[in-house]
RNA sequence: CGGGGUGUAGCGCAGUCUGGUAGCGCACCAGUUUUGGGUACUGGUGGUCGGAGGUUCAAAUCCUCUCGCCCCGACCA
């Protein structure tokens, strides 16, 4: 490809509305343009990257026995009514009517469509397992799209769905997808972790997210430094700490005028946050509970909801707090608290002594508190978010904090959709049974952004070779010198003939502009052809992201490039 | 949805407080110059100042309403 024929409008200035690195570089590098919030044009360079990613996905999924289909983007409400999600899905589901007044939506996901497809034509256990996937544009009307391609409303996703005869077979399908995902992300050149994830309201027993490690990631994850354990902090279970025996401190009520948050009280009393017990008043359906969490820890509402057997828990309204504690928000404590259904405490609170708790009265706290000596807990459980420094629940190691970008998710669905939509088959004994499903997503456009978050420097993008828009870029530095132009032209032809994807910067730009743009666009290999070196038959070769400059004879350029590409 | 910000040329911005009929840099076009890290100079193209209404002799500027976009949070799985 010749640069003069490539629509890659690069910018010197950062676009104002781009904050995160991948967003800035994709816009500046001429890869994407915004059409509306969370909706982007993909320009030629971006499309080349997306096709590389899609190619890797196709190869690995086809190898794993999946088959590609392409399902409609616009879906009728009927199948969503059947699965029950027409009512369940909120405004994130983009709904619309056709000219006859029929209800439709833009597909945010395709469980309904795929189940409808499979249930029509697959009737026998002999036809299973079957695994169908597609690569397609999804639309979710996100409350707040952000960070460019990272969380768009319209985005490209690969979604796959497996159908099996029973749990064991479905688990095998899951395992196969899990390992294919590992190969896909490795081939994309990403540093990632598969982490155990929350199975959420869908239920089911297994779920893993594939997280690309990057400081800008939206998700908080912990990973053991010793064994392979890794999990979303929402999911990470924590081992029960050993209870400490013996109390110190004497119970004492202290005045704490106008200080209510842990930080404020901690400063006021000059005691560390670990010495505090937070008392959170929560609402679970119609019940109100008090939840005790150590001051430096954070409640995990998902764990609490599971423990209480409800779909969700929320912090109680101010009025409720006042009613059950007799004090405004900020002074709740477990001592003398009897207006709640139960007092539940995180394991870390067990055996705490010389602690600080709220006094259930305005401007008042207790110090020197001993758990079980000064108040009763109804039950203890693992209720908090994991964090760096915690003990690994699987081995003797320690957990470390990471931020991650979720680029893939594998999910054991079970029979939720197949039962709701009667996607059944006849087993060997002629009995009708629901198929057991799994679903598997990859954020294709998000991978492009995640790869940049992980691979860039001050000058621009540094693409992993496997997903770079081109392998090599040629920079003729003086377009007015025939020798330079001719040498570049013959290198261009030679590389193309050798099957290399090459971008020739044949613009009549100065050398500086070409270098800058080449670095911004981030093609892995760069060959600079200048009159100075050419007098000695030499060009300069450089690998993007490395400082070393190699002087190469013209004749060996193609070999060098092929060697670099392996 | 709550909080904060912002909308002026393709991009980045000034002008708004204190009303007087729109400007700078980049990009783009023509030319001179330069020629290995975004060259310098000259001339030029391009804007209903997000939109609607109002106040005024006069509105980018003041008032009211409205829309878009960005950030934080809540929400969502």
Q: Could you report the per-residue pLDDT of A250-286, keeping only the tens digit for each?
A: 767 777 776 667 777 777 767 777 778 888 877 777 7
A18, closest nucleotide (Cα–C1'):
B70
Distance A460 CA to B60 C1' (A): 36
Distance A349 CA to B14 C1' (A): 58
User: In terms of C-beta density within 10 A (0-12 exposed, 13-18 middle, 19 or more buried), how is residue A172 classed?
Assistant: middle
A90, closest nucleotide (Cα–C1'):
B76
Which candidate, A265, A291, A263, A388, places its Cα nearest to that of A347?
A291
Q: Which of A114-123, A263-272, A453-462 has the lowest mean pLDDT?
A: A263-272
Nucleotides of B under 7 A from a protein CB: 1, 11-13, 25-27, 34-39, 68-77
Q: How many other C-beta atoms are found inside a 10 Å radius of the C-beta of residue A19? A: 13
Contact indicator for A461, A25 with CB cutoff of 8 Å: yes
Which residue approaches B77 most closely, CA to C1'? A200
Contact indicator for A26, A32 with CB cutoff of 8 Å: yes
Quote the Cα angle for A540-A543-A548, to 5°.
65
Distance A314 CA to B76 C1' (A): 15
Q: What is the DSSP letter of A524?
A: S
DSSP per-residue codes, A64-98: TT-EE----SEEEHHHHHHHTHHHHS-TTS-EEE-
Across the range A379-396, mean pLDDT stands at: 79
User: Cα–Cα distance between A185 and A198 in angstroms, integer?
Assistant: 21
State the ipTM, two decimals.
Answer: 0.85
A38, closest nucleotide (Cα–C1'):
B69
A142, closest nucleotide (Cα–C1'):
B76
Q: How many other C-beta atoms are found inside a 10 Å radius of the C-beta of residue A235? A: 23
Collect all residues with Cβ–Cβ distance below 8 Å to A182 and sequence separation of at least 6: A194, A210
Contact indicator for A491, A529 with CB cutoff of 8 Å: yes
Which residue approaches B70 most closely, CA to C1'? A17
Which residue approaches B71 most closely, CA to C1'? A19
Which residue approaches B25 most closely, CA to C1'? A13
Distance A509 CA to B42 C1' (A): 20
Distance A98 CA to B48 C1' (A): 36
Strands (E), A81-204: 95-97, 103-106, 130-139, 154-164, 192-196
Distance A16 CA to B43 C1' (A): 31
Q: What is the DSSP letter of A276?
A: B
Q: What is the DSSP letter of A436?
A: E
A481, closest nucleotide (Cα–C1'):
B35
Q: What is the DSSP letter of A299?
A: B
- pLDDT tens digit sequence for A168-222: 999 999 999 999 999 999 999 999 988 887 665 555 568 888 999 888 787 788 8
A91, closest nucleotide (Cα–C1'):
B76
Distance A188 CA to B12 C1' (A): 34
Across the range A111-123, mean pLDDT stands at: 89
A520, closest nucleotide (Cα–C1'):
B38
- Determine the pLDDT at residue A449: 92
Quote the Cα angle for A292-A238-A181, to 5°.
130
Distance A173 CA to B68 C1' (A): 46
A475, closest nucleotide (Cα–C1'):
B36
Q: Provide the CA A349 distance to its chain's centre, in angstroms.
A: 32
Distance A488 CA to B33 C1' (A): 26
Contact indicator for A366, A374 with CB cutoff of 8 Å: yes
Q: Which of A111-125, A255-269, A385-399 has the lowest mean pLDDT?
A: A255-269
- Determine the pLDDT at residue A260: 65
- pTM greater than 0.90: no
User: Cα–Cα distance between A38 and A35 in angstroms, integer?
Assistant: 8
User: Cα–Cα distance between A277 and A15 in angstroms, integer?
Assistant: 46
Distance A196 CA to B77 C1' (A): 14
């Amino acid at each position: 490809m010749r640069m003069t024929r490539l629509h890659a409008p690069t910018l010197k200035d950062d676009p104002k509305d781009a904050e995160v690195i991948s967003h800035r570089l994709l816009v500046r590098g001429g890869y994407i343009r915004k059409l509306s919030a969370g909706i982007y044009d993909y320009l030629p360079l971006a499309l080349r990257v997306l096709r590389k990613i899609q190619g890797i996905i196709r190869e690995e999924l086809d190898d794993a026995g999946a088959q590609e289909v392409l399902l409609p983007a616009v879906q009728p409400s009927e199948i969503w009514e059947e699965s029950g999600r027409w009512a369940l899905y909120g405004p994130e589901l983009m709904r619309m009517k056709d000219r006859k007044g029929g209800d439709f939506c833009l597909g945010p996901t395709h469980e309904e469509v795929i189940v409808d497809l499979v249930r029509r034509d697959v009737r026998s256990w002999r036809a299973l397992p079957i695994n169908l996937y597609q690569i397609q544009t999804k639309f979710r009307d996100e409350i707040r799209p952000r960070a460019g391609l990272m969380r768009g409303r319209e985005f490209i996703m690969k979604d796959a769905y497996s159908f099996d005869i029973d749990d064991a077979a479905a688990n095998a399908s899951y395992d196969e997808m899990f390992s294919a995902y590992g190969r896909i992300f490795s081939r994309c050149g990403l540093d990632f972790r598969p982490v155990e994830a929350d199975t959420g309201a869908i239920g089911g027993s297994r779920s893993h997210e594939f997280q690309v490690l990057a400081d800008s990631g939206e998700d908080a994850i912990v990973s053991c430094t010793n064994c392979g354990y890794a999990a979303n902090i929402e999911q990470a279970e924590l081992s029960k700490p050993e209870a400490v025996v013996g109390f110190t401190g004497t119970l004492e009520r202290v005045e704490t005028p106008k200080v209510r948050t842990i930080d404020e009280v901690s400063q006021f009393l000059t005691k560390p946050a670990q010495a505090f017990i937070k008392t959170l008043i929560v609402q679970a359906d119609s019940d109100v509970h008090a939840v005790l969490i150590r001051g430096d820890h954070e409640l995990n509402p998902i764990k609490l909801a599971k423990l209480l057997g409800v779909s969700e828990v929320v912090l109680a309204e101010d009025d409720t707090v006042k009613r059950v504690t007799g004090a405004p928000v900020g002074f709740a404590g477990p001592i003398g608290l009897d207006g709640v259904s139960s007092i539940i405490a995180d394991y870390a609170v067990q055996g705490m002594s010389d602690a600080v708790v709220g006094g259930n009265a305005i401007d008042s706290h207790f110090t020197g508190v001993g758990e079980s000596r000064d108040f009763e807990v109804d039950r203890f459980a693992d209720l908090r978010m994991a964090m760096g420094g915690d003990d690994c629940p699987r081995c003797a190691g320690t957990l470390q904090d990471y931020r991650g970008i979720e680029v893939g998710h594998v999910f054991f669905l079970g029979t939720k959709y197949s039962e709701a939509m009667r996607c059944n088959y006849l087993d060997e004994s002629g009995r009708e049974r629901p198929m057991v499903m799994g679903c598997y997503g990859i954020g294709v456009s998000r991978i492009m952004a995640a790869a940049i978050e992980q691979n860039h420097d001050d000058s621009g993008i540094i693409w992993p070779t496997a997903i770079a828009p081109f392998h090599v870029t040629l920079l003729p530095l003086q377009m007015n010198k025939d020798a330079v132009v001719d040498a570049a032209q013959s290198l261009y032809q030679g590389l193309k003939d050798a099957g290399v994807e090459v971008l020739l910067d044949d613009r009549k730009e100065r050398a500086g502009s070409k270098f800058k743009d080449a670095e911004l666009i981030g093609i892995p290999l760069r060959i600079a052809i200048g009159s100075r070196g050419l007098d000695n038959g030499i060009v300069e070769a450089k690998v993007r992201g490395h400082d070393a400059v190699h002087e190469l004879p013209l004749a060996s350029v193609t070999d060098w490039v092929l060697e670099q590409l392996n």
